[in-house]
Amino acid sequence: MQTFHIETVGCQMNVLDSELVMATLLQEGFQYVDSPKKADILLFNTCSIRQHAEDKIYSALGRLKHARESHPGKIIGVMGCMAQKDAGQIFRRAPHVELVVGPGQIARIPELIRKIQAGEGPQLELSLERKGKSRREVESSFDFFDPHRERAARANPYQAFVRVMFGCDQFCTYCIVPRVRGPEQSRAEGEILAEIDQLVEQGCREVTLIGQTVSKYREPTTRMPLSGLLAKVHDRTSPGGLERIRFVTSHPNSMTRDLLDAVRDLPRVMPFFHIPAQSGSNAVLKRMNRGYTVEKYREVLAAIRETVPEASITSDFIVGFCGETEADFEDTMRLVEESRFKNSFIFKFSPREGTKAWELFEDDIPEEVKRRRNNELLALQNRISEEDSAGFLGRKVEILVEGASKKEESLPIYGESTKLQLTGHTPCDRIVVFDGSPEMLGTIQTVTIEKTSPFTLFGKVA
């Protein structure tokens, strides 16, 4: 039997794509192995968002230069965003790679592997590039495939991502995603609900609806917005069945009243929003082509806090974007200070060829300035996260028990052991670690918080 392994980096889209590829390969009779070294077929699911992510893949590929000498017939493949963006360069820099597949063509992976094994040589499948093509041409070059889900292909059986949108039309000037993932397209309601039914049948307790701009979801025929979709998914929930619904990533410009009301009124839609701000300076937001001002962003946060007071909000920030002055950065610090995000993901700007920023602006902020700003913003956010976490001390929280904590991962979960360190998330998406027993996996438990750190709460089952 042929064995395979997939190494995944990048966002939730990639995690989901890897799951889908794994499911199809299992169904086609391939066998999964944990070891990249032993696998007959080794796939890298890649990310292009920052240079660093790409460099890491090239060095991993470099280390495999002689892999086929000791493992004849081993197939090395690259899928995901880097495959779409840099196919030619991958074959040039790593000639031992035989398979390159863009994110819109992953359904074809088993067939392409068979072709390589039949001696047809290296295989390349990509979507049409957006440049110079009509939207319809580009769209139709994607195989939209989110087929049968497979429990064995997920890290844990209780949680799953469900794609509700493909692609992105936002064209933030720093971002490569619209180029590699194609135009924004929402999936049909019927498809999404059928997939969720299947997941629930497989024991799934929480679904996270994902899209690069999920808050812009519109059903292709009925034009139903995300609030309507949330209500329909909510109809599928039940105690002991589907217990929780989440959605990421939101865009500040589509946080409409109906969406906030839906999160308030649907008890199984979790009070959690990921709404990247990217910067606290209007001049920078403008150069980023984000389409909103800081004032507008503040209004969105205020509306959420008023409608769903228990909600937690997380954000993304880029520091050191082209032309970012010290005063711009201070504006970002101020926004973080006053917004009290549960967490912020902070990135140093990394210029990407193929984006507007690459064409129009100079990457003029020195690396040490980027690093300093990154550290300052991180320290501020950590302080806020720590203070907010401390507010949970002594409180009772409901968590979905997801699995053993990292420390316990090597222990047999279903073995004889009766006491385990378990983890789960609160409705507002805070991680909780506590002692429990294997029967608790996949259930909702109430935990009393006894200790806190910036990003983890520790407690005891109440």
Q: Which residue ranges make up the site for ligand SF4 (CB under 6 A)?
A: 10-11, 13-14, 47-49, 80-81, 176-177, 180-181
Angle (nearest 5°) at CA 306 between 301 and 312: 55
Total site size for ligand 5AD, rule CB under 6 A: 12
CB of 256 to ligand SF4, least distance (A): 24
Residues contacting residue 223 through CB under 8 Å, at least 6 positions apart: none
Amino acid 108 reads R
CB of 188 to ligand 5AD, least distance (A): 26
Residue 347 vs 434, nearer CB to ligand 5AD = 347
CB of 417 to ligand 5AD, least distance (A): 38
Q: Which one of the spans 141-149, 304-312, 343-351, 393-401 is the region binding ligand 5AD (CB under 6 A)?
A: 343-351
CB of 268 to ligand SF4, least distance (A): 27
CB of 347 to ligand 5AD, least distance (A): 4
Q: Tokens at residue 439, please?
A: 């029967």
**Which of 74, 149, 179, 352 forms a contact with ligand 5AD (CB under 6 A)?**
352
Is 365 near ligand 5AD (CB under 6 A)?
no
Residues contacting residue 419 through CB under 8 Å, at least 6 positions apart: 435, 436, 437
Is 341 near ligand 5AD (CB under 6 A)?
no
Is 175 near ligand 5AD (CB under 6 A)?
yes
d(CA 233, CA 334): 38
Residue 78 vs 433, nearer CB to ligand SF4 = 78
CB of 95 to ligand 5AD, least distance (A): 28
Is 49 near ligand 5AD (CB under 6 A)?
yes
48 binds, among ligand SF4, ligand 5AD, none (CB under 5 to 8 A by kind): ligand SF4
Q: Tokens at residue 139, please?
A: 């769209």
d(CA 383, CA 441): 32
d(CA 179, CA 169): 9
Angle (nearest 5°) at CA 385 between 380 and 390: 130
Is 250 near ligand 5AD (CB under 6 A)?
no
Is 278 near ligand 5AD (CB under 6 A)?
yes
CB 399 within 8 A of CB 424: yes
**Which of 349, 361, 392, 458 forms a contact with ligand 5AD (CB under 6 A)?**
349
CB atoms within 10 A of CB 77: 24
Give CA torsion, residues 345, 346, 351, 352, to 10 deg.
-10
Q: 313 — phi, psi (to 5°)? A: -130, 135
Residue 202 vs 293, nearer CB to ligand 5AD = 293
What DSSP string runs through 354-389? TSHHHHHS---S-HHHHHHHHHHHHHHHHHHHHHHH
CB 403 within 8 A of CB 422: yes
Residue 299 vs 316, nearer CB to ligand 5AD = 316
**Which of 129, 150, 299, 316 forms a contact with ligand 5AD (CB under 6 A)?**
316
246 binds, among ligand 5AD, ligand SF4, none (CB under 5 to 8 A by kind): none
d(CA 43, CA 354): 25
81 binds, among ligand SF4, ligand 5AD, none (CB under 5 to 8 A by kind): ligand SF4
What is each CA distance from 394 to 137, 271, 462, in whole angstroms? 57, 20, 11
Is 350 near ligand 5AD (CB under 6 A)?
yes
Residue 49 vs 447, nearer CB to ligand SF4 = 49
Is 318 near ligand 5AD (CB under 6 A)?
yes
What is each CA distance from 258 to 227, 255, 266, 302, in whole angstroms? 6, 8, 12, 15
318 binds, among ligand SF4, ligand 5AD, none (CB under 5 to 8 A by kind): ligand 5AD
Residue 57 vs 180, nearer CB to ligand SF4 = 180
Give contact residues for ligand 5AD (rule: CB under 6 A). Answer: 49-50, 174-175, 276, 278, 316, 318, 347, 349-350, 352
